[in-house]
């Protein structure tokens, strides 16, 4: 190292980001100390100050390290800090920061939410941010953010939010391309209007009866969990869509044409049949379909899926390449009349991979017949996985059904496997 030019040493140190490593290198030599101001990123782990024995407060230590850096572009702080400390840091490095990640730790502290300046308010100084990630956020009041014109990625993980506060936060980020809200609760009606948004993942925690209205004409990837009413009309660019509701029911979906959609996943305990059938009709061009919905029916009335015609289903989805199908949907394809309309010349043209999850031995003969039909008419099928999941029956029918599946696998061992 001593024989290297100063510029090379500074370049090497620019790749260092762990605060502890920076502190150690600062004590090695004057030359190393003089090179450290050129680092681009600083990371403070959760335990950064666990064994601290000095008189300085952790906020002060961070401030001293930041004050020695010429142009910091990325700051990640997982260790505890105060709003006053954060405000002082932002005055130092806010103008140069491009990437900021903070573990806020104020979910249960309402007092921290109303203190002035709040942690959220302090962030507004970093007007040139390109990405912002916050952990453990209490956002009951609208954050006093003027605007982040360069912000392209916003991620909030673990948050208690109010509708108006979330709306105000998003309005301050007009050019977002990536939005992630993970493990959030408290909202009731979410309205998102972001013209440049391309990727969006929303995971709402709670009873699962939230509503979502999304207006983003460039949206390509959308994943929603926990909403019962979903409206997304601008879908020309949408290629991947996942909708799930693990706690509540999906009552209504309102989407535009899904001509570009390649992947569709619908999951949950209960969906209204109108919502399921509408999604299947709109997703006629889909290539990968994942379905895991246990029941249909309105409100508390749990009902099985109605019969689905085998031929009509695959004729309506001619580009389907991978089909991941679970219990209820598979049972609907296996009804007595499902294979009644098979005509000569019928084929499933593009289907290459099938994953079938079986949970019940009921209607065993029709289920075996449907599995055989998938192989018979799927001319390009390369693999079929049959998953036996929690099949419970005191009757011998379960054993007989499993024997039939094993026989089917042996006859088609090059293609079929049992999991």
Give per-residue pLDDT as tens, 29-64: 666 667 678 889 999 999 888 877 777 899 999 999
The whole-number average pLDDT for the span 249-275 is 95
> According to the model, what pLDDT value does residue 372 have?
94
Work out the percent of the chain whose per-residue pLDDT is above 90: 68
Model confidence over 286-340: pLDDT tens digits?
Answer: 999 999 999 998 777 889 899 999 999 999 999 999 999 998 899 899 877 767 7
Q: What is the 3-state secondary structure (H, E, C) of the chain?
A: CCCCCHHHHHHHHCCCCEHHHHHHHCCCCHHHHHHHHHCCEEEECCCCCCCCCCCCCHHHHHHHHHHCCCCCCEEEECCCCCHHHHHHHHHHHCCCCCEEEEECCCCCCHHHHHCCCCHHHHHCCCCCCCEEEEEEEEECCCCCCCCCCCCCEEEEEEEEECHHHHHHHHHCCCCCCEEEEEEEECCCEEEEECCCCCEEEEEECCCCCEEEEEECCCCCEEEEECEEEEEECCCCCCCEEEEEEEEEEECEEEECCCCCCCEEEEEEEEECHHHHHHHHHHCCCCCEEEEEEEEECCCCCCECCCCCCHHHHHHCCCCCCEEEECHHHHHHHCCCCCCCCCCCCCCECCCCEEEEEECCCCCHHHHHHHHHHHHHHECCCCEEEEEECCCCCCCCHHHHHHHHHHHHHHHCCCCEEEC
pLDDT for residue 394 is more than 70: no
> According to the model, what pLDDT value does residue 36 have?
73
Model confidence over 147-197: pLDDT tens digits?
Answer: 999 999 999 999 999 999 999 999 999 999 999 999 999 999 999 999 999
The whole-number average pLDDT for the span 245-271 is 95
Model confidence over 223-234: pLDDT tens digits?
Answer: 999 999 999 999
Work out the percent of the chain whose per-residue pLDDT is above 70: 92
Query: What pTM was estimated for this model as a whole?
Result: 0.90
> According to the model, what pLDDT value does residue 115 have?
60
> According to the model, what pLDDT value does residue 163 have?
95
Model confidence over 294-305: pLDDT tens digits?
Answer: 999 877 788 989
């Amino acid at each position: 190292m001593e024989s290297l030019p100063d510029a090379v040493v500074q370049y090497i140190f620019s790749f260092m980001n762990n605060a502890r490593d920076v502190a150690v290198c600062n004590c090695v030599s004057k030359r190393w100390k003089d090179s450290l101001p050129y680092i681009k990123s600083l990371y403070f782990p959760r335990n950064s100050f666990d064994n601290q024995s000095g008189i300085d407060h952790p906020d002060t230590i961070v401030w001293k390290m930041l004050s020695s850096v010429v142009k910091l572009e990325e700051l990640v702080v997982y260790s505890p800090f105060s709003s006053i400390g954060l405000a002082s840091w932002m005055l130092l490095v806010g103008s140069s920061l491009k990437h900021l990640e903070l573990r806020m730790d104020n979910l249960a502290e309402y007092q921290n939410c109303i203190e002035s300046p709040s942690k959220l308010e302090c962030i507004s100084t970093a007007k040139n941010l390109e990405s912002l990630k916050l952990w453990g956020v209490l956002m009951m009041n609208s954050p006093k953010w003027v605007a982040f014109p360069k912000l392209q990625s916003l991620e909030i993980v673990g948050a208690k939010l109010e509708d108006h506060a979330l709306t105000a936060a998003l309005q301050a980020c007009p050019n977002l391309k990536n939005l992630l809200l993970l493990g959030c609760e408290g909202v009731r009606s979410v309205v998102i209007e972001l013209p440049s948004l391309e990727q969006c993942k929303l995971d709402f925690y709670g009873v699962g009866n939230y509503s979502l209205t999304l207006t983003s004409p460039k949206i390509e990837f959308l994943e929603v969990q926990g909403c019962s009413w979903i409206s997304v009309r601008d879908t020309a660019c949408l290629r991947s869509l996942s909708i799930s509701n693990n706690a509540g029911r999906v009552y209504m979906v309102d989407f535009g044409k899904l001509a570009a959609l390649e992947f569709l996943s619908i999951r949950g305990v209960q969906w209204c049949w109108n919502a399921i059938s509408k999604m299947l009709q709109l997703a006629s061009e889909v290539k990968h379909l994942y379905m895991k919905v246990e029941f249909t029916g309105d409100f508390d009335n749990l009902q099985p899926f109605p019969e689905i015609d085998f031929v009509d289903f695959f004729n309506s989805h001619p580009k389907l390449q991978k089909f991941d199908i679970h219990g209820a949907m598979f049972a609907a394809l296996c009804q007595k009349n499902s294979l009644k309309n098979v005509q000569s010349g019928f084929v499933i043209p593009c289907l290459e991979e099938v994953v079938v999850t079986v949970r019940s031995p009921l209607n065993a003969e029709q289920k075996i017949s449907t599995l055989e039909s998938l192989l018979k008419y799927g001319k390009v099928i390369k693999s079929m996985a049959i998953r036996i999941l929690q099949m419970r029956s005191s009757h011998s029918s379960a054993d007989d059904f499993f024997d039939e599946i094993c026989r089917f696998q042996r006859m088609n061992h090059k293609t079929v496997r049992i999991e």
